[in-house]
């Protein structure tokens, strides 16, 4: 039991030590996406639903604006499909990745679903692979890794999991069987990553659980934070502004109630018994029903962004607290859900730990 308890800390410490180091400044720009789960184009391929959106966003926004692309694990779904089938079907997607690579702006990390890719002999798209990367911002570190490395189970028994998925889950048409479907496992893994980042006084950016996180806060906590901020502003406002603020608070309260009533969506993120240290971030995933989420690092800021097709979801088009930016003349929009200065976050990390 002691071995398992110590595993996350020692394993992550080793990965951090040997991670590819990249010095960044306020002039550098990165987008972090994880969990594409690219399959063979068949009915069990989770990537199919958002592939057009994802490809368009990469080509027409991030590539053109000079962003570095960090693919934070589970890019290929090798737990269910063979590599040849994946690469044959998604040649156009690999071509987009190649464009980032040409500009030396591609960093491809390994997850538990594409683990073993580094050993494939017939890899048609053999990009350089990393276990993790660390973005060094002044004297501070942003540690980017998939997240499964904090789990003794996923690190030690991944081969057995792959066998189960290929032999049982695929034939039974069970889609995306992973920790992302188990809230208790999500929280346990996030807690391990959180504690490691807190103890090291760094920012950790993970994927794996498919649950977007910003400053160690879930969506429920983020809504509560916004309500609190609006309440603080209310006494300073005139009558017209107060009426508008009241409407915003009522809308947030309704959303908060909906989330907490759905037990599967409500997970307490009290990783600490006292103050929550804003050290854990999660880019979410590329295969969500309403769009894709990612973590942007640019201009000395870090942001949680959501890209969506208005023909699929109009939620953020009607949100009074969030401005959705249209990408050219397409149906695709970008919503910045949260944003903060990196220096401010690192200051809080140092002072709160």
The residue whose two tokens read 């990165």 is: 30
Three-state SS at 65: coil
Question: Average pLDDT, whole number, for the chain?
Answer: 87
pLDDT score of 220: 76
- The dihedral through the CA atoms of 300, 305, 309, 314 has a sign that is negative
Fold for 2-216+272-352, please state it. Answer: Purple Acid Phosphatase; chain A, domain 2 (3.60.21)
- What is the token pair recorded at 88? 């044959």
What are the CA-CA distances from residue 244 to residues 120, 178, 241 (Å)?
58, 42, 5
Cβ neighbours of residue 342 closer than 8 Å, sequence gap 6 or more: 137, 140, 142, 203, 297, 300, 301, 302
pLDDT top residue among 224 and 92: 92
Dist. CA 99–CA 239, nearest whole Å: 53
Dist. CA 256–CA 321, nearest whole Å: 14
Q: Break the chain into its structural domains and give their ranges.
A: 2-216+272-352, 223-260
pLDDT score of 229: 86
Q: What is the pLDDT of residues 240-282, one digit of tens each?
A: 999 999 988 888 888 888 877 765 545 555 566 567 899 999 9
pLDDT top residue among 245 and 6: 245
pLDDT top residue among 262 and 106: 106
- Whether the CB-CB separation of 279 and 349 falls below 8 Å is answered with yes
pLDDT score of 325: 93
Other C-beta atoms within 10 Å of 323: how many? 12
Task: With a cut of 60, say whether residue 43 has pLDDT above it.
Answer: yes
Confidence of residue 164 (pLDDT cuts 50, 70, 90): low
Task: With a cut of 60, say whether residue 179 has pLDDT above it.
Answer: no
Confidence of residue 232 (pLDDT cuts 50, 70, 90): confident
- What is the token pair recorded at 346? 């690192």
Beta pairing partners, 31: 69, 296
pLDDT score of 157: 47
pTM: 0.84
């Amino acid at each position: 039991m002691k071995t398992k308890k110590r595993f996350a800390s020692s394993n992550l410490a080793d990965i951090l030590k040997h991670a590819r180091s990249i010095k960044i400044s306020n002039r550098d720009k990165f987008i972090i996406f994880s969990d594409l789960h690219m399959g063979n184009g068949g009915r069990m391929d989770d990537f199919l639903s958002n592939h057009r959106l994802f490809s368009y966003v990469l080509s027409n926004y991030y590539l053109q604006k000079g962003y570095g692309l960090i693919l934070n694990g589970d890019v290929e779904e090798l737990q269910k499909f063979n590599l040849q089938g994946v690469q044959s079907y998604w040649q156009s997607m690999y071509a987009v990745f190649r464009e980032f690579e040409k500009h030396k702006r591609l960093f491809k990390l390994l997850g538990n679903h594409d683990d073993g890719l580094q050993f494939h002999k017939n890899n048609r798209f053999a990009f350089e692979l990393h276990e993790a990367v660390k973005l060094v911002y002044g004297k501070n570190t942003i540690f980017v890794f998939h997240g499964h490395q904090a789990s003794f189970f996923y690190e030690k028994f991944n081969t057995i999991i792959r066998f189960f998925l290929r032999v049982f889950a695929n034939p039974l048409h069970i889609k995306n069987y992973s920790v992302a479907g188990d809230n208790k496992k999500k929280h346990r893994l996030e807690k391990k990553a959180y504690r490691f980042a807190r103890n090291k006084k760094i920012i950790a950016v993970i994927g794996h659980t498919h649950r977007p996180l910003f400053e160690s806060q879930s969506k429920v906590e983020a809504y509560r934070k916004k309500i609190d901020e609006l309440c603080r502003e209310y006494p300073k406002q005139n009558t017209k502004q107060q009426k508008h603020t009241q409407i915003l608070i009522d809308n947030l309260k309704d959303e908060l109630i909906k989330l907490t009533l759905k037990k599967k969506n409500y997970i307490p993120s009290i990783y600490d018994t006292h103050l929550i240290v804003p050290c854990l971030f999660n880019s979410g995933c590329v295969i969500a029903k309403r769009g894709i989420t990612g973590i942007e690092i640019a201009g000395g800021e870090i942001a949680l962004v959501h890209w969506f097709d208005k023909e699929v979801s109009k939620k953020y088009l009607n949100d009074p607290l969030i401005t959705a930016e249209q990408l050219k003349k397409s149906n695709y929009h970008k919503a910045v859900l949260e944003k903060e200065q990196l220096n401010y976050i690192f200051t809080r990390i140092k002072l709160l730990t």
